[in-house]
């Protein structure tokens, strides 16, 4: 019965075609919707891979809205979250004429905080002049907004430093003690989510809540009948982040700042506290200065030989202890000081735990950012933890993405996520890849480890860039290669007098760059990781995608290295079982940028000679859509003619 009803809704005479201009059902979409409806009916677990163009969003929304009950939909990015909430959900709801209420829930750092906004205004200290200008816009917005969602202030960049001062964190929220508790935007969003039938969240929020019980989902989950993860290939990474522990120097600097501000309001007569917070701030910054590099990852063991590291850690722990002891004496003078004391104790405990070398099945490592250092403890495997979390209550769990399998084999994903009993299903893209697209692997390329490799990539790509008249994405596996390629292209364009607009990741927000790319119609955009997925450019503006290397994770990544070592120690093949599947999934994402529509045409150029030369290369290209393939440059150039 389910099957027939869904088939009719997607048919040329059905509700979707009647309500949505140019709607055309695809057999893959109908089958996927039927499989999801079935899983929801029996509270099952389903992992579904659906190639680009299947229309997977409608394929899960239709059965989810028809089934009734409470539904949580979790997406990979805030962009996709906004698109679902503002566009796709209302469209399907109106077409089906179902009286379903919907809500959008983001992490608390996305909502203005009245208390911290007020405190920042009265403090009047800013890192830059820009911050002061941004604050004026935020204050104005706070007076008129219903939601408090910071995305409503579009002319203050998402990464502006001022946001940290006017939003709350789990650490510095005063909870019920806050003087603005009644007007809190976070609580308002959570109340709306509690009342709604369908709630749209993102993966970070979902896992933060699963582990910290902090983001308002803890109350939502028990009442929920169905959980749908879109972009589910991102889950292993996100879950690893939250099933572990972390503490960063920027959190400690924030604590020092907050304690100093609270002391200025509630403990003016206690001079020892501001002095101690200044020392703590300095100790946290000094820890970052131990590292000469601007960013990177290291294992905890590697740190033991680093000059200055142990001393800097001891000083930081001591200064934190001093601040905590002073806060304890003043805590009863205000909710803010009490909150700082509680935070300080948690941070001291986390540092102590991180330094404990006896932790079993965990990797201790640290990440160096431009201005901070983060100490992380990550589980070697998340499978057991995740399985335990989702098997506690009968409900349907749906995992969907365009890239979960290797040659239609789900075993890597299932074992990584602990979903060994889940049903699996796979639908190919309805696009005609052999006609619409060409996969070109150039001949005589250098070895990817050769210092001249990036230059070879750019020179090999130039004839195609000219043939496609710009209209290209060049995707790199590292920022360094991306920057170097940009330099080489700039020089070559001057030499050849080519005037295609050249755009580089980092010259603006991703959305800004994409909208400029579409407007130009003949631009070339160079990007690294953040442009490999979740980017949708349809039509002629994007006709060429060049990928420099197979996206193997760096072998010195501490978590990857520890996981590979564990698999090897069990007598298994870590490369084939773990490294290769992850690379295939990443490559499928990058390749998926090219053909986004039935009328799109283009060339995918993968420069890495390992795709042909290595025995595992065949496994990789067989996992890609069925492109027509060539190694002949003239055939690739002619494709554009």
Say whether 282 sits in a helix, a strand or coil: helix
Residue 506 lies in a domain: yes
| Average pLDDT value over all residues in the chain | 91
Mean pLDDT of 141-161: 87
Q: How far lies 444's CA from each of 453, 515, 620, in Å?
A: 12, 36, 20
Q: Does 173 lie in the same domain as 97?
A: no
Mean pLDDT of 63-75: 94
Give the C-alpha separation, 314 to 320, whole Å: 10
- Residue 484: what pLDDT? 97
At 1, the pLDDT band (50, 70, 90 cuts) reads low
Nearest CA to 461 among 334, 349, 519, 548? 548
At 216, the pLDDT band (50, 70, 90 cuts) reads low
Sign of the Cα torsion 564, 566, 568, 570 reads: negative
User: What's the length of the chain?
Assistant: 641
Backbone dihedral angles phi then psi of residue 628, each to the nearest 5 degrees: -70, 140
**pTM (2 d.p.):** 0.90
- Residue 512: what pLDDT? 86
Last residue of a domain, which of 392, 427, 462? 427
Give the C-alpha separation, 290 to 285, whole Å: 9
Asked if the model's pLDDT at residue 344 lies above 90, the reply is yes
Q: Please name the helix (run of DSSP H) or strand (run of DSSP E) that holds residue 584, with its range, or none.
A: helix 580-591
Give the C-alpha separation, 637 to 615, whole Å: 28
**Strand pairing report for 524-527 and 472-475:** parallel
Q: How far lies 249's CA from each of 78, 283, 317, 595, in Å?
A: 26, 9, 12, 43
Q: Does 608 lie in the same domain as 559?
A: yes
Highest mean pLDDT among 2-6, 117-121, 332-336, 473-477: 473-477
Mean pLDDT of 113-132: 84
Residue 326 lies in a domain: no
- Residue 303: what pLDDT? 85
Percentage with pLDDT > 90 across the chain: 72
Asked if the model's pLDDT at residue 535 lies above 90, the reply is no
Q: Does 274 lie in the same domain as 220?
A: no
Which range has the worst mean pLDDT, 5-9, 153-157, 457-461?
A: 153-157
Residue 172 lies in a domain: yes
Which range has the worst mean pLDDT, 113-127, 232-246, 617-631?
A: 113-127
Residue 625 lies in a domain: yes
Q: Please name the helix (run of DSSP H) or strand (run of DSSP E) that holds residue 296, with its range, or none.
A: strand 296-299
Which DSSP letter does residue 554 get?
P
* Matching residue, tokens 């809704």: 9
Which segments within 402-457 are labelled E, that is strand?
423-427, 437-440
Q: Does 114 lie in the same domain as 45?
A: no
Asked if the model's pLDDT at residue 214 lies above 90, the reply is no
- Residue 487: what pLDDT? 96
Q: CATH number of the domain that 34 lies in?
A: 3.40.50.300
- The order of strands in the sheet holding 602-606 is 502-504, 524-527, 472-475, 544-547, 602-606, 437-440, 628-630
Q: Does 142 lie in the same domain as 90?
A: no
Q: Does 596 lie in the same domain as 531?
A: yes
Asked if the model's pLDDT at residue 213 lies above 70, the reply is no
Per the structure, how many domains does the chain have? Answer: 4
Asked if the model's pLDDT at residue 218 lies above 70, the reply is no
Residue 518 lies in a domain: yes
* Model pLDDT for residues 469-479, shown as the tens digit of each residue: 999 999 999 99
Mean pLDDT of 358-371: 90
Mean pLDDT of 404-418: 94
Residue 337 lies in a domain: no
Give the C-alpha separation, 4 to 34, whole Å: 9
- Residue 294: what pLDDT? 81
- Residue 510: what pLDDT? 84
Residue 460 lies in a domain: yes
Residue 191 lies in a domain: no
Asked if the model's pLDDT at residue 556 lies above 60, the reply is yes
Q: Does 274 lie in the same domain as 416?
A: no
Asked if the model's pLDDT at residue 331 lies above 90, the reply is no
Q: Does 265 lie in the same domain as 170?
A: no
What are the helix (H) ranges across 42-128?
56-67, 78-83, 89-96, 114-123
* Cβ-proximal residues to 123 (8 Å cutoff; 6+ apart), any chain: 261, 264
At 167, the pLDDT band (50, 70, 90 cuts) reads very high
Q: Does 33 lie in the same domain as 77?
A: yes
Asked if the model's pLDDT at residue 360 lies above 60, the reply is yes
Mean pLDDT of 418-431: 95
Q: Does 212 lie in the same domain as 115?
A: no
- Residue 581: what pLDDT? 95
Q: Does 206 lie in the same domain as 146?
A: no
Range of the domain at 202: 2-101+196-235+382-427
pLDDT: is 10 or 119 the higher one?
10
Mean pLDDT of 96-107: 94
* Model pLDDT for residues 590-623, shown as the tens digit of each residue: 999 999 999 999 999 999 999 999 999 999 999 9
Q: Does 607 lie in the same domain as 459?
A: yes
Give the C-alpha separation, 432 to 626, whole Å: 8
Asked if the model's pLDDT at residue 219 lies above 80, the reply is no
CB atoms within 10 A of CB 462: 16
Q: What six digits make up the tokens of 119? A: 């405190």
At 154, the pLDDT band (50, 70, 90 cuts) reads confident
Q: What is the DSSP string of 326-392?
A: HHHHHGGG-HHHHHHHHHHHHHHHHHHHHT-TT-TTEEEEEEE-SS-EEEEEEES--HHHHHHHHSS
Query: From its phi and psi, is residue 28 left (phi > 0), alpha (psi between -120 and 50) or beta?
Result: alpha
């Amino acid at each position: 019965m389910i099957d027939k009803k869904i088939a009719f809704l997607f048919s040329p005479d059905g509700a979707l075609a009647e309500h949505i201009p140019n709607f055309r059902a695809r057999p893959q979409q109908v089958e996927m919707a039927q499989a999801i409806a079935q899983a929801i009916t029996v509270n099952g677990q389903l992992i579904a891979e659906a190639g680009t163009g299947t229309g997977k969003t409608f394929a899960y929304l239709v059965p989810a809205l028809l089934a009734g009950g409470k539904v949580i939909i979790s997406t990979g990015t805030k962009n996709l979250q906004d698109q679902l909430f503002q566009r796709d959900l209302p469209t399907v709801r109106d077409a089906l004429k179902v009286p379903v209420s919907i809500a959008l829930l983001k992490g608390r750092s996305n909502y203005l905080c009245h208390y911290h906004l007020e405190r920042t205004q009265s403090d009047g200290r800013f890192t830059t002049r820009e911050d002061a200008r941004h604050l004026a816009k935020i204050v104005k917005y706070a007076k008129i907004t219903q939601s408090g969602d910071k995305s409503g202030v579009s002319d203050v960049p998402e990464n502006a430093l001022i946001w940290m001062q006017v939003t709350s964190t789990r650490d510095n929220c005063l909870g019920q003690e806050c003087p603005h508790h009644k007007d809190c935007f976070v609580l308002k969003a959570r109340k709306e989510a509690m009342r709604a039938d369908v709630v749209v969240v993102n993966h970070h929020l979902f896992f933060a809540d699963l582990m910290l019980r902090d983001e308002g989902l803890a109350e939502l989950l028990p009442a929920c009948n169905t959980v749908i993860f879109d972009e589910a290939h991102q889950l292993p990474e996100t879950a690893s982040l939250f099933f572990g522990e972390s503490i960063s120097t920027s959190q400690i600097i924030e604590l020092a700042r907050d304690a100093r501000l609270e002391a200025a309001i509630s403990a003016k007569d206690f001079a020892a506290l501001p002095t101690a917070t200044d020392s703590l701030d300095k100790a946290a910054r000094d820890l970052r200065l131990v590292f000469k590099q601007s960013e990177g990852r290291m294992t905890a063991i590697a740190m033991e030989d680093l000059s200055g590291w142990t001393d800097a850690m001891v000083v930081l722990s001591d200064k934190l202890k001093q601040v905590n002891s002073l806060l304890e004496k003043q805590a009863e003078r205000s909710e803010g000081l009490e909150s700082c004391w509680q935070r300080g104790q948690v941070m001291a405990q986390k540092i102590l735990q991180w330094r404990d070398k006896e932790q079993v099945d965990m990797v201790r490592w640290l990440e160096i950012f431009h201005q901070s250092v983060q100490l992380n403890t990550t589980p070697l495997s998340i499978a057991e933890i995740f399985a335990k979390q989702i098997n506690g209550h009968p409900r349907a769990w749906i995992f969907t993405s365009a890239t979960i399998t290797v040659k239609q084999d789900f075993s890597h994903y299932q074992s990584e996520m602990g979903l060994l009993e889940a049903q699996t299903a796979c639908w190919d893209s309805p696009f005609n890849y052999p006609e619409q697209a060409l996969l070109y692997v150039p001949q005589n390329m250098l070895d990817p480890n050769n210092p001249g490799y990036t230059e070879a990539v750019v020179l090999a790509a130039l004839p195609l860039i000219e043939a496609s008249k710009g209209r290209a994405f060049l995707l790199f596996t590292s920022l360094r290669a991306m920057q170097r390629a940009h330099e080489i292209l700039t020089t070559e364009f001057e030499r050849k007098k080519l005037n295609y607009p050249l755009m580089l990741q980092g010259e603006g927000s991703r959305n800004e760059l994409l909208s400029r790319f579409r407007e130009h119609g003949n631009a070339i955009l160079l990007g690294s990781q953040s442009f490999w997925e979740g980017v949708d450019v349809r039509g002629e503006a994007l006709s060429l995608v060049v990928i420099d290397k197979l996206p193997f994770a760096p072998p010195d990544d501490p978590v990857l290295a520890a996981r590979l070592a564990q698999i090897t120690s069990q007598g298994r093949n870590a490369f084939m079982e773990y490294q290769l599947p992850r690379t295939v999934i990443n490559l499928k994402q990058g390749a998926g940028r090219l053909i986004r529509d039935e009328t799109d045409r283009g060339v995918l150029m993968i420069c890495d000679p390992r795709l042909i030369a290595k025995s595992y290369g065949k496994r990789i290209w067989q996992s890609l859509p069925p492109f027509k393939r060539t190694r002949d440059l003239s055939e690739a150039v002619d494709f554009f003619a």
